[in-house]
Structure 1
Amino acid sequence: MNSRKTRLILAVAVAAAIFGYKALNPKPGTAGEPATASDSAAGPVAPVQPVMLGQIAFTSCSLSSPMAKESLEAMCATYAVPEDRAKPEGRKIALNIAWLQATGKGERMPDPVFFLAGGPGQSAVETFPGLDPVFKEVRKQRDVILVDQRGTGKSNLLSCKAPDGGDDAFDPSPEAMQAQATTCAAELSKKADLRHYTTTDAIADLDAVRRAIGAEQVNLVGVSYGTRVAQQYAMRHPAATRSIVLDSPVPNALGLGNIFARNLDDALALQFALCSKDPACKDKLGDPRAELDVLLTTLRANPVQLQYRDASSGEMKQGTLRAETVAGLVRMYAYMPLASGLLPKLIHEANAGRYENLMALSKMMSGDMQDAMAMGMQLSVICSEDANSMVVREEDANTVLGNLMPSGMAAMCKAWPKGAVPADFNQPLATKVPALVLAGEFDPVTPPRYGEEIVKSLANGRLFVLRGQGHSVIGAGCMPKLFTQFIEKADAKALDGKCLDTLAYPSPFISFNGAQP
């Protein structure tokens, strides 16, 4: 991985996947592509007749993702909104929208579900196919609307391609980060006013789409960063909000600049304890946290140059394994406790001089990260909304991540244009709108205490903490069934969550073949 790409991924994408990352990026050129006739079809093709939903004309399309077994048949459209609402006659953004029609033969309810993707920087249209099974029962009665947030997907994507460079030129200094952001901002400013790609701008877009399709009320389902969008929408448009689902949420009141290091260490303590409490794992792999500290200390002093096999191509390549690379990989694996069960084995192997697996996995995940996140949009959001909280803290110095993230982001935000934020942006959401709040016990970025804080001001809200789960939990165990019941009745307090008691803790890997039988 080249040096500039490393800076972007570690200081922004790994950091400001602020609310989370799942490798749900689509196969290039597939999500939202119009449905086409087979190549073997002969004769003229009849003009595609649009289907109107309110004021918007939709045509058939297919949505696909590596995380979905099959493509989804949908209806796709664009809807133009002003980039700067203070200048309605100025530049327009063509919002990319997908409409998944209700599948049941019975009554179609008038309040659709709006799915709000994470990041910030993920595309709702591209992310949703992997989550469609969770919505199977909900979709029998309700349409699902996917709007690529401005700056993501096909809604004027704000993404800078990292230039080539060598590993030996790696420079994580704030000065290098700021220079990279300056270059990125200059390039993107040719097609966008970067001040107008904030959460507040996105809220106005969502409500414009709601009104255009003729829906009096909507149900909001936000995952990760999408929970910030959902809370802000419900705050600004309570009458238009029938219900909200907040999966892996962050409170409105929280500045996110320096939450990463402590939250990750807390989650790793819980996850690594699964090995420390398992006699066979502890005997073979030792204390995972102590081993990780040894590995990071070793690599900070002497980064390792090595050969590894590329996980995508199978080719042998040369690379340099650094402490920052390992820290980023550990953080990404911590999002998914089932996968993080492999970390103690990987770390133990590396301390024995076998670094190849760590290197290959870090390269694979960093490539997925760059493809899945629109980094320019990400910076427009976090630099406008969270820059003041990006401070270096002495108590974070000895954590896995240290202060790399807040220092790197603060440097990049010095070069990034910032948008306006409402004076009450950080007020807690206080509403009677029914709310289902979900958190994973082992979440390394939005821990359960965030959900506990949020529900304090939600008169009709309820929190479920899912045992042994990480980030993005709506698909875990019986949660899809409870989610369906909530959307049907809009009553979280009536849900019987006993079925979640069957969730089990993941077993740590003793070897690369898995946990001990």
Structure 2
Amino acid sequence: MKTRWGTCVLIALLFAATLLAAQGASVRNVSGEWQGMVGRQHLVVKIERAADGSFTGTLTVPDQGNVTLPVDDVSFAPTGALKLDLKRLGAVYEAQLSDDGSALVGTWRQGGNSIALTFRRPGAATAQFTLKARTLGSIPLEPCRTKDGNTEGLCGKYEVYENRTSKSGRKIALNIMVLPALAAKPAPDPWFALAGGPGQSAVEAYPLAGYTAKVRELRDAVLVDQRGTGQSNPLQCKLQSLEDAQAVLGEPYSLEKIRECRAESDKKADTTQYTTSIFADDLDEVRQAMGFDKINVFGGSYGTKAALVYLRRHGDHVRTVALEAVASPQFLIPLPFAKGLQSSVDGVIALCAADAACHKDYPDLGVEFKTVVELLEKSPARFEIRNQSVTLSREMFASKLRSLLYVPQFVSGFPFIIHSAHQGNWTPYAATVMGLASLMEGAVARGASFAAICTEDVPALTESAIRRETRGTYLGDSQVRRYQECCKAWGPAGSLPRDFHSAIRSRVPTLLISGALDPATPPETAKPAAHDLANSRLIIVKQGTHGTGSQCTDGLIADFVKQGSAAGLDASCTDQIHLPAFQTRAQ
């Protein structure tokens, strides 16, 4: 699972579509090339000035095969204000030229969301820090920036024992980034955001998230990379080549590669110590070292499981808990994926049928989808992409499709993708899957992911539950069986507290947000958790997915943290959250 980047991945994930369409800039001598980054994606804007003084521009994404998009309108004022309008994407970039003409500092807006984005001239020096070093509790922090250079914060390390029980042997330097509150007198209880995956970095996932910006108006945002992720002794493994289309589209992870991943991870870590419960204790030690009594905890996707485990183990120090795309400890990866995908696909097909333009272009979308699945069941599809031959099975088609449905912008292309596949044209599907794979490359530390999943999830699966949760679905039990094989290849797992999979009961104010179209963590997975949390509220976004980001949900999260209660929150704005318009054949 991934945060909205994303969402998360946020996830991230939260920013798959935003990454495909970033910005450009301009200058008093605005012509020329500008370079920037969003997350891990490099962006290049080129602006040219015509003889009549008008400007034109393009945006290129080198990490996506040098895809180049035209800027529909470029305007530049003598004051140094620049505006780039990409109408077909519904995106606008507004920036101010720095005094020395070396940088464009601005904001990218798309679909009701906004992120900070800075472009610089090639070779231009990074701007000086505005924050000053300080010590928070006993942890010294120095000025720093995110990898993309768009967010300034304070960074430091805090060492914990890898084996918290023996309190001896190897130590892990946990990577920490603090985004200081903008208020002159910050609230005494900071906001700790826990990343998804498992395996994602909080320091990479959350600085650009809309709710982070809103929350830090009043309180510090504290981001701690979970052990094994980000820069906290990362257990990063490369399991496939993005240049190999068959590997990306048509094959599960190689069991030999997983065994190699474990061997490499074991050289730097005791991977049995990289579990959610142990991370929760790491996090509480960081809280204590920083000198905080109460904290506000946020989690997205797998991060919701981590947040709930922290609540169980250290609830006396929790003021509020906010959860988006909810996966409680009872959520066993990948068991819910089969029904989640089924519900998501059926929901998107129903939305297309209710949309006049979509229904006109794809009147038989439901039938076409089922036909595609049935044909793949009989024999794999064979096609070419990037001058490579690919063989695609039903299992891999459904598995990769689930990931596409995380992202609203990809959901809008679902009817076109399925209709094209039904016509024998697999290029839209294949190109989209490979693009998403490129965006997510390196975002998840696979060693950390296997360490958690193969301890906490897969061993708890029962045959009766597998049959009950997968029978009659598009995905079937194929992904569950794959995970079982992967964990067998991974090898010996860690241990769990006895109560790990039991219900978590608490009166701490808790806000849960679920997308009705989420193919991984639909509302059904959130309802049991909400039931057991006495002071909770579950908000369901009717057209929400796993990576839905909006000013509405950002505001709900920030307001909840501000008032310390979900009571009285006006969630009516969620009814105005809609998927991007479905892609028609004319487009």
**TM-score, with structure 2 as normaliser:** 0.74
Does residue 61 of structure 1 match 2:144? yes
Q: Is residue 2:411 matched to residue 1:334?
A: no
Change (3 A) 1:169 1:284: closer
DSSP-derived class of the 2:175 partner: strand
CA separation of 1:278 and 1:487: change in aligned 2, threshold 3 A? closer
Give the counterpart letter for 1:468 in structure 2. Q
In the alignment, is residue 484 of structure 1 matched against residue 558 of structure 2? Answer: yes
Matched, 1:185 2:262: yes
Residues 336, 161 of structure 1: CA spacing in aligned structure 2 closer, same or farther, 3 A cutoff? closer
Contact 1:247 1:472 in 2 (8 A): no
Structure 2 residue aligned with 1:95: 174
Q: Tell me the equivalent position of 2:55.
A: none
Alignment partner of 1:127 is 2:117:
no
**What is the match of residue 449 of structure 2?**
378
Aligned to 1:320: 390
Output the CA distance in 2 between the equivalents of 1:102 and 1:163.
Answer: 40
- The 3-state SS of whatever aligns with 1:237 is helix
Question: Which shifted more, 386-395 or 444-453?
Answer: 386-395
Does 1:149 pair with 2:226? Answer: yes
Q: Is the 8 A contact 1:228 1:252 kept in 2?
A: yes
1:368 is aligned to 439
Query: 2:525 is matched with which residue: 423, 427, 450?
Result: 450
Deviation at 1:359, TM superposition (A): 1.6
Which consecutive unaligned segments of at least 5 residues does structure 1 have?
1-11, 30-37, 309-315
Q: CA deviation at 1:155?
A: 0.7
Q: Is the 8 A contact 1:157 1:374 kept in 2?
A: yes
1:271-286 superposed matches below 5 A = 271-286=348-363
| CA offsets 1:147-169 (integer angstroms, 9 cap, x no match) | 00011111111121236696678
- Classify the secondary structure of the residue corresponding to 2:152: strand
State whether residues 19 and 225 of structure 1, in contact with CA within 8 Å, keep that contact through their aligned partners in structure 2.
Answer: no
Residue 294 (structure 1) shift = 2.4
Q: Helix, strand or coil for the counterpart of 1:245?
A: strand
Change (3 A) 1:336 1:18: closer
Q: CA deviation at 1:229?
A: 0.7
Give the letter for the 1:318 counterpart.
Q
Mapped pair 1:114 → 2:192: yes
**Structure 1 equivalent of residue 427 of structure 2:** 356
Q: How does 1:285-296 map to 2 (within 5 A)?
A: 285-296=362-373
Q: Shift of the alpha carbon at 1:500?
A: 2.8
Query: How far is 1:210 from its partner?
Result: 0.3
Are 2:83 and 1:83 equivalent residues in the alignment? no
- Give me the whole-angstrom Cα distance separating, in 2, the residues matched to 1:501 and 1:329: 29
Structure 1 position 494, deviation (Å) = 2.2
Is the Cα contact below 8 Å between 2:143 and 2:152 reproduced in 1? yes
Greater RCO between the two (CA within 8 Å, min separation 6)? 1
Q: Which residue of 1 aligns with 2:461?
A: 389
Q: Cα deviations across residues 225-247 of structure 1 (Å, max 9, x unaligned)? A: 11001111011111111110011
For the residue of structure 2 that corresponds to 1:438, the secondary structure is strand
- Alignment partner of 1:432 out of 501, 507, 510: 507
The letter for the 2-side match of 1:362 is V
Distance across 1 between alignment mates of 2:204 and 2:248: 32
Q: Distance in 1 between matches of 2:143 and 2:178?
A: 9
User: 5+ unaligned residues in a row in structure 2: which ranges?
Assistant: 16-37, 43-121
Q: Distance in 1 between matches of 2:123 and 2:343?
A: 54
Partner of 1:32: none
Question: Aligned partners of 1:81 and 1:228: how far apart in 2?
Answer: 22
Structure 1 residues 307 and 257: CA distance shift in structure 2, 3 A: closer
For residue 449 of structure 1, report the CA deviation from its aligned partner.
Answer: 2.2
Q: Which residue of 2 aligns with 1:22?
A: 12
Residues 219 and 384 of structure 1, relative CA distance in 2, 3 Å threshold: same
SS in 2 for 1:221: strand
Q: Percent identity?
A: 33
1:18–1:445 CA contact under 8 A, matched in 2: no
Q: Distance in 2 between matches of 1:394 and 1:254?
A: 15
Check conservation: 2:249, 2:400, Cα contact below 8 A: no
SS in 2 for 1:478: helix
**Residue identity in the other structure for 1:367:** S
Q: Using a 3 Å threshold, how does the CA distance of structure 1 residues 319 and 74 change in structure 2: closer, same or farther? A: farther
**Pairwise CA distance, 1:306:** 3.9
Q: Tell me how far 1:304 sits from its aligned partner.
A: 4.6
The alignment's TM-score, normalised by the length of structure 1, stands at 0.83
Which has a greater percent of strand? 2
Deviates most, 299-308 or 421-430: 299-308
2:494 corresponds to 1:419: yes
Contact 2:248 2:434 in 1 (8 A): no
Deviations along 1:364-406, one digit per CA (max 9) or x if unpaired, are 2123333211111111111111122165538735533222211
- CA distance in structure 2 between the partners assigned to 1:282 and 1:378 by the alignment: 40
1:376 aligned counterpart, secondary structure = helix
Whole-angstrom CA distance in 2 between matches of 1:228 and 1:197: 15
Corresponding pairs, count: 474
Question: Hey, which of these two has a bigger chunk of helix by percent?
Answer: 1
Q: Is the 2:510–2:536 Cα contact (8 Å) retained in structure 1?
A: yes
Tell me the SS of whatever aligns to 2:239: coil
CA distance 1:429–1:289, change in 2 (3 Å): same
Q: Are the equivalent residues in 2 in contact too, given 1:177–1:408 (CA < 8 A)?
A: no
Preserved CA contact (<8 Å) 1:244 1:435: yes
Letter in 1 for 2:516: E
Letter in 1 for 2:535: N
For the residues of structure 1 that align with 2:8 and 2:270, how far apart are their CA atoms?
24
Q: Structure 2: which amino acid aligns with 1:86?
A: T
* Deviation of 1:499 (Å): 3.0
- C-alpha distance 230-354 of structure 1, shift in aligned 2 (>3 A): same
Shift of 1:27: 2.5
Distance change in 2, residues 1:359/1:380 (3 Å): same
